[in-house]
Structure 1
Amino acid sequence: MQTNEDQAGIPAATRREVLGMAGAAGLALMAPTLATAQGTETLKVGFISPRTGPLGSFGEGDGYVLELARKALANGLAIGGKTYKVEILDRDTQSDPARASQLAKALINNDKIDLMLTTSTPEVVNPVSDACEAAGVPCLATVMPWEAFYFGRGAKPGEPSPFKWTYLFSFGVSNFVKSYLSQWGAVPNNKRVAALLPNDADGNAIRAAMLPDLAKAGYTIIDGGPYETGTTDFSAQIAKFKAEKCEILMTFPIPPDFATFWRQAAQQGLARTMKVVQAAKTGLFPSTIEVLGPLGNNISVAAYWHKNFPYPSTLTGVSGVQLADGYEKAAGKQWNQQLGASLSLLDAGFVALKKVANPKDKAAVAKALAGLQTTTMMGPIDFTKGPVANVSATNMIGAQWVKAADGAKFKFDYVITENASDPAVPVARKPSAFA
């Protein structure tokens, strides 16, 4: 007759108890390993920029910068005695504001990111920031006039900030003005300024805030009037600037529009009368200057980063020169100033995450951004100083594109011509007249 015992004579019920205790003991011994494996949380950071389309020159170096950041974070990020895995989820807006908003919402709702980083022009930064503000996700941004970020999204002068989750460190009108006046004062001219400003967030912010400041400084401003992005005929603006005998050109168009305008200006005789050609939003990158050929020589720009800035990356440890040289070797292209800005965004974002006890706590991260004080490759940032809540203003340094020496690897050199905003930045030469 069968009994409820196994071959060793141990009742089955008792055997199950023994195995259960053995399993429990084994699990107890394995507990530290399991706890480590299960306790390794992942921080998800979104990174949205324009890498293709009309604004694609801003993002052409982002792949290289993100690779450096991922290598620096390969072993995780230590915060409060705990190490977190880090995923940086980068997305390309294709220069489309609607797509920027959609990408941000997908990262927020589907990927459940803990922090959003975004850069390069209002067409990218504002829709991404709006999506984060609506969803209660901390967001840090750079590279656009702060007035277009703050007032362009609904904040009112003199009223409390309507933003709790979105922050920007970047230049503003006063930073442009300081650099421009320093550059223009070094070149003899008649102080008559041709202003070519588009009907967009940048153009409207500059028109409202910068033009009055330049007028107060003694310059006569001739506004060509707001034009639509994609305009193909600038004859009316060119005729007006010629009639007013302007010797300074100040522009804020996207790169394709500037190329169209500037070629027409040369054909119609305006270019040869200019003593200063000051470009912003375009003229920032070698690719947008080289397409102009000889018309690119001596174009002036206010730089938000240059490889000779004396500030290393806090995340990767690389210097400006190392970043530029590494990119040129890897990509076979000339370095550009967005390299330092994009790495600065990553620098600042991860400093903020390390300042909180729990980086998965979105409210705590937003609070850390509001009080963030650190030094990035672009220089010092301090959100406690303003100029308004949610904003830290960064310096602008005067620079100029000059024809490279014969036999040089690239057609133009990008040299620093003034440092009124930051004497720590070395000046290479004085500004030269365009014509």
Structure 2
Amino acid sequence: MNKSNIPASPAQATPPNRRHVLGLAGATGLALLDPTLARAQGLDNTLRVGFVSPRTGPLGSFGEGDGHVLALARKALASGLVIGGKAYKVEILDRDTQSDPARASQLAKALIDNDKVDLMLTTSTPEVVNPVSDACEAAGVPCLATVMPWEAWYFGRGAKPGAPSPFKWSFLFSFGVADFVKSYISQWSAVPSNKRVAALLPNDADGNAIRNALLPHLQKAGFTVVDGGPYETGTTDFSAQIARFKAEKCEILCSFPIPPDFATFWRQAAQQGLAKSMKVVQIAKTGLFASTIEVLGPLGYNLSVAAYWHKNYPYASALTGLTGVQLADGYEKASGKQWNQQLGASLSLLDAGVAALKAAANPKDKAGLAKALSTLQTTTMMGKVDFTKGPVGNVSSVPMIGAQWVKPAAGSKFKYDYVITENESDPRIPVAAKLKSYS
């Protein structure tokens, strides 16, 4: 017998080399043998979505409901997505910035470099959104953000008025100065006052953007603005600002401090006699959530806020199918805490992010996904998102409405109720009550 025709025994067989294995297994085998290389060649069928927000630290109130929202999103995405006829798993990688801008940047870079995210989502204030957006812009990773004044995001990151957008990878749907102006003027007109406005604005991205853009609009609308001057975050003595506001007989407060700073200021304002002369106390960046109002006790009643979401908004989540009331009720039942407006905003961010993935021909192609974001038109719990006609490139404006913290009805298990007081930016949103004077 010709030995060359005898099959080799397992012991005699020559182990297949890597080239032979790849020839037999093809691209699918490559994905199993080398996941990192598979990602690079676009063979991975898992879409990785980064979600960066502040869940602890001074800005932690913005993220206190994110765990609940992320659980809802993961449940809705458990069976994955089918895009362009291909099935994808979806993995959401959430990170807490601890309210630290430097940490926000580091987390974003780690998600980009180590976790190879396909899409980055980020929310809540320039201290979070700007460093994450910058990291994505530098790395060429699509990024979608919300909840901060768009001027602080756009001009605060180097864009120039009248010039084309310098951004290719980062996008924001959020409110802007024009939305604040519309809500504030509508809200303040409901209460008789001398139209003298005390402006308490910090020396940060939000404060400087509002100082340069909002205050001139208020002056044009007939209000006299008294600027207390840029103060540093963490200030513990606001006596100078309070004395000036009292001397100028201000009856409206317009403020943009972080929660701890406003609590310090407003307690001192009450002690030094400023609070009792105020007809409207308008707060932003703080006072958005019950947790930041409860620390003020009775001083929190009748504070007014421009809100970017309320549970009575008439829009549902495309991702989960939940209405605003269902989302709020589910959170209260699960957590025992009062609902807050960031619930709807964080779910809107996830809604819009998933809509962008679906709109891309190939969601693993970063350039294609960025293009899908640039033309995205969808409806979220916050309202319509349309990047084809933003106030500037890479921005879609969403409405702001007026709201106020008031004493709840008898029998409520919470200390405050949060009611809608004006809807100039979106008449479809129901108004519940007229604004009450603070003093």
3-state DSSP class of the match of 2:293? helix
Does 2:358 align with 1:364?
A: no
Choose the corresponding residue for 2:168, options 147, 154, 164: 164
Does 2:385 align with 1:391?
A: no
State the distance in 1 between where 2:411 and 2:147 align: 33
Does 2:66 align with 1:66?
A: no
Choose the corresponding residue for 1:329, options 329, 333, 354: 333
Does 2:88 align with 1:84?
A: yes
- Do 1:40 and 1:85's aligned partners in 2 also have CA atoms closer than 8 Å? no
The runs of 4+ residues in structure 1 deviating greater than 2 Å are: 10-16, 37-40
Matches within 5 A, 1:34-433: 41-433=45-437
State the distance in 1 between where 2:400 and 2:360 align: 31
Choose the corresponding residue for 1:13, options 7, 10, 17: 7
3-state DSSP class of the match of 1:46? strand
State the distance in 2 between where 1:348 and 1:291 align: 34
Q: Structure 2: which amino acid aligns with 1:12? A: I
Q: Structure 2: which amino acid aligns with 1:103? A: L
State the distance in 2 between where 1:40 and 1:332 align: 40
Structure 1: which 5+ residue stretches go unaligned? 20-30
- Do 1:40 and 1:83's aligned partners in 2 also have CA atoms closer than 8 Å? no
Q: Structure 2: which amino acid aligns with 1:67? A: A
The residue aligned with 1:26 is none
CA offsets 1:123-163 (integer angstroms, 9 cap, x no match)? 00000000000000000000000000000000000111110
State the distance in 1 between where 2:313 and 2:8 align: 75
State the distance in 1 between where 2:144 and 2:8 align: 61
Quote how far apart the aligned CAs of 1:405 are: 2.4
3-state DSSP class of the match of 1:175? helix
Number of corresponding residues: 417
Question: If you compute each CA radius of gyration, which structure gives the higher value, 1 or 2?
Answer: 1
The residue aligned with 1:24 is none
Quote how far apart the aligned CAs of 1:169 are: 0.2
RMSD: 2.0
Quote how far apart the aligned CAs of 1:11 are: 6.0
Quote how far apart the aligned CAs of 1:404 are: 1.1
Q: Percent identity?
A: 80
3-state DSSP class of the match of 1:13? coil
Q: Structure 2: which amino acid aligns with 1:90? A: D
**TM-score scaled to structure 1, two decimals?**
0.93
State the distance in 1 between where 2:354 and 2:398 align: 19
State the distance in 2 between where 1:154 and 1:96 align: 21
3-state DSSP class of the match of 2:298? helix
Q: Structure 2: which amino acid aligns with 1:216? A: K
State the distance in 1 between where 2:361 and 2:432 align: 44
Quote how far apart the aligned CAs of 1:15 are: 8.8
Quote how far apart the aligned CAs of 1:406 are: 3.2
CA offsets 1:372-422 (integer angstroms, 9 cap, x no match)? 111100000111111000000110010000011233110000000000110
State the distance in 2 between where 1:136 and 1:286 align: 38
Q: Structure 2: which amino acid aligns with 1:184? A: W
3-state DSSP class of the match of 1:190? coil
Quote how far apart the aligned CAs of 1:44 are: 0.3
State the distance in 1 between where 2:369 and 2:257 align: 35
